[in-house]
Amino acid sequence: MPTPTAHVSAAAGDFAEAVLLPGDPLRAQHIAENHLENARQVTAVRNMLGFTGSYKGLPVSVMGTGMGIPSVSIYSHELITEYGVKKLVRVGSCGAVATNVALREVILATGACTDSRVNRRRYAGHDFAAVADFGLLRAAARAAEAQGVPLKAGLVHSADLFYEPLPDPFEPMKRMGVLAVEMECAGLYGLAAEHGVRAMALLTVSDQLVTGERTSSEERQSTFDAMVHVALEALVLDAG
Ligand code: HPA
């Protein structure tokens, strides 16, 4: 597939090796405008905005992924195979299903369980362990500690359905020590393994699904910015 690709209008070389991946394309624009230097827009197909700039001298791109495993997989696949992206860092939100995870906390998704079949498709029908890259995890843990941002590291569940029709969908997660539910990590980690590249996800807790608490939009923004700062500092540590 040459560049531009089916879903990305950037030219070859327009993306940095390291890309931050928020779900919302306007969050990608916010990161480009507030966290990167000399950022320029490189793609806007379907309004899925992507930008490339730098952070402390390190080339970094940021692009929206949309919601769910199919959407994140399409964009990430094209970034990896046609634009040479090697480090993919999801910066998203999640709903906590563990009682010891508080609203606004940042979760480092060490691995992702899922009800999606995508990784079984990749792994001859067997159960693939979709895990984050250890070097990126270590860098994120160090960056969070240096900035005084409390982190909880553990498993998330990547769900295909946001609106679950069955009763008590979180029971197996709670019983097995899964911290939170979101909709992309298992796809991203499986895809990274398939292509021999590195991936990690940082997620802020936007909803506490056990207590029913939710963050306000201002709280979401400030927690999100602290998390993006951790992700960028992690990329600097990892590159150094
Ligand atoms: N479910 C799935 N994904 C999410 C949620 C949720 O409740 N909250 C934030 N991302």
Whether ligand 1 lies within 6 angstroms of the CB of 207 is answered as yes
pLDDT for 235 equals 98
Number of Cβ within 10 Å of residue 237's Cβ equals 17
SS3 16: coil
Query: What's the CATH code, domain 18-239?
Result: 3.40.50.1580
Q: Which residue has the tokens 């899925």?
A: 48
**Cα-to-centroid distance, 62 and ligand 1 (Å):** 22
Whether ligand 1 lies within 6 angstroms of the CB of 114 is answered as no
Active-site amino acid positions = 207
| Size of the chain, expressed as the number of residues it contains | 240
pLDDT for 197 equals 99
d(CA 217, CA 232): 22
pLDDT for 217 equals 86
d(CA 107, CA 30): 21
Q: What is the mean pLDDT of each run of 10 residues along the chain (240 residues)?
A: 93 98 97 98 98 98 98 98 98 98 97 98 98 98 97 98 96 98 99 99 97 91 94 97
The residues spanned by each domain of the chain are 18-239
Token pair in block for residue 47? 């309004």
pLDDT for 222 equals 87
d(CA 107, CA 155): 9
Token pair in block for residue 27? 């969050």
In eight-state DSSP terms, residue 198 is E
- The reply to whether omega before 4 is within 30° of 0 (cis) is yes
pLDDT for 80 equals 98
Atom of ligand 1 nearest to the CA of 182: 3
